């Protein structure tokens, strides 16, 4: 995810905290999906040890999180932006959109959590709504106004910073 990963690291941590709470309360089992990395090492004869010289993603990952809640498959990615008015669609990679589309077609819940650092708001965007937007609009970004009208805002609740699961389980998607 490049710079998005660094920018949104706290967002992933919030989601991981939420997932730990859901798991402890026996509401869901949702985990972070690691990106597979290829590591290259060189042997250093003077220390008689291998040293990591390069590390890079081995292949494109799927999405950030996946699991099960209430007998439903749940898969999603998290994205954050520092921009003041919109979220650029280029931050959602084609392979992520495709993976989430396939999850949705198989009956799973597929979405993206989008966080505005400026507004300090997070929205849940269903993959089918994103795909509809892309196919019908010419814009290269989602305005925060559009997100506010077309998505559900995820808020802190029940001691969980981003309590997204009730929104996911309530929706017939």
Euclidean distance between CA atoms 43 and 34, whole angstroms: 27
Q: What is the pLDDT of residues 67-87, one digit of tens each?
A: 999 999 999 999 999 999 999
Q: 0.85 cut: is pTM over it?
A: no
- CATH (domain of 11): 3.40.1350.10
Is the predicted pLDDT of residue 52 greater than 80, yes or no? no
Confidence (pLDDT) at 38: 65
- For residue 46, being part of any structural domain is answered with no
Euclidean distance between CA atoms 137 and 80, whole angstroms: 22
- For residue 48, being part of any structural domain is answered with no
- What rounded mean pLDDT belongs to the chain? 89
- For residue 144, being part of any structural domain is answered with yes
Confidence (pLDDT) at 56: 58
Please count the structural domains in the chain. 1
Confidence (pLDDT) at 33: 87
- For residue 10, being part of any structural domain is answered with yes
Reported as a pLDDT band with limits 50, 70 and 90, residue 141 is very high
- For residue 30, being part of any structural domain is answered with yes
- For residue 56, being part of any structural domain is answered with no
Q: Phi then psi for 95, rounded to 5 degrees?
A: -65, -30
Which residue has better confidence, 45 or 90? Answer: 90
Note down the domain range covering 20.
3-35+61-170
- For residue 43, being part of any structural domain is answered with no
Is the predicted pLDDT of residue 2 greater than 60, yes or no? no
- For residue 114, being part of any structural domain is answered with yes
Confidence (pLDDT) at 4: 41
Q: What angle do CA 99, 101, 102 make, to 5 degrees?
A: 65
Confidence (pLDDT) at 88: 97
Confidence (pLDDT) at 43: 74
Q: What is the mean pLDDT of residues 4-13?
A: 72
Sort 154 into a burial class: Cβ within 10 Å, 0-12 / 13-18 / 19+.
Answer: buried
């Amino acid at each position: 995810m490049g710079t998005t990963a660094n920018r949104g690291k706290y967002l992933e941590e919030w989601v991981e905290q939420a997932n730990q709470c859901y798991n402890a309360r026996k509401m869901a089992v949702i985990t972070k999906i690691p990106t597979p990395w290829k590591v290259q090492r060189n042997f250093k004869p003077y220390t008689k040890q291998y040293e990591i010289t390069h590390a890079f993603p081995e292949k494109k990952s799927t999405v950030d999180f996946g699991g099960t809640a209430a007998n439903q498959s749940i898969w999603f990615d998290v994205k954050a932006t520092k921009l003041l008015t919109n979220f650029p669609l280029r931050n959602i990679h084609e392979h992520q959109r495709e993976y989430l589309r396939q999850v949705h077609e198989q009956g799973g819940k597929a979405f993206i959590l989008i966080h505005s650092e400026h507004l300090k708001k997070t929205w849940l965007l269903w993959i089918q709504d994103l795909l509809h937007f892309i196919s019908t609009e010419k814009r290269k970004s989602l305005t925060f106004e559009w997100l506010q009208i077309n998505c559900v805002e995820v808020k802190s609740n029940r001691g969980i910073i981003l309590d997204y699961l009730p929104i996911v389980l309530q929706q017939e998607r």
